Structure 1
Amino acid sequence: MSILYFALTTLVTFFCMEGITWLTHKFVMHGFLWYLHEDHHQPRYQGVFEKNDAFFVIFAIPSISLFYFGVTPELNFLFFIGLGILCYGIAYFLIHDVLIHQRFKWFKNTKNKYLVGLRKAHKIHHKHLGKEYGECFGMLYVPKKYFSM
Structure 2
Amino acid sequence: MNYLIILFVFILMEAATWLIHKYIMHGLLWVLHKDHHDHSNISKLEKNDYFFVIFALPTIALMYYGSLSDFNHLFYIGLGIMLYGIAYFFVHDIFIHQRFKCFSKTKNPYFLAIRRAHKQHHKHTNKHNGECFGFLYVPIKYFKMYFNSPK
**1:1-149 alignment, distance < 5 Å:** 5-149=1-145
Deviations 1:55-101 (A, max 9, x none): 00001111101011111232101101000000000000011001111
Give the letter aligned to residue 24 of structure 2.
Answer: V
Matched to 1:85, the amino acid is I
Q: Which amino acid aligns with 1:20?
A: A
Task: Give TM-score scaled by structure 1 length.
Answer: 0.95
Alignment-mate amino acid for residue 72 of structure 1: L
**Distance change >3 Å, CA 129–CA 39, structure 1 → 2:** same
Please report how far the alpha carbon of residue 105 of structure 1 lies from its aligned counterpart in structure 2 after TM superposition.
Answer: 1.2
Q: Report how many aligned residue pairs link the two structures.
A: 145
Uncovered stretches (5+) of structure 1, i.e. residues with no partner: none
Out of 63-72 and 29-38, give the one that drifted further. Answer: 63-72
User: What is the TM-score normalised by the length of structure 2?
Assistant: 0.93
Distance 1:7 1:106 in 2: 31
Moved more, 99-108 or 115-124: 99-108
Gaps of 5+ in 2: 146-151
Query: Alignment identity in percent?
Result: 58
SS in 1 for 2:106: coil
Question: Runs of 4 or more off by more than 3 Å in structure 1?
Answer: none
**Superposed displacement of residue 44, structure 1:** 4.5
SS at match of 2:67: coil
RMSD: 0.9
* Distance in 1, Cα, partners of 2:14 & 2:26: 16
Please, which moves more after superposition, 113-122 or 37-46? 37-46
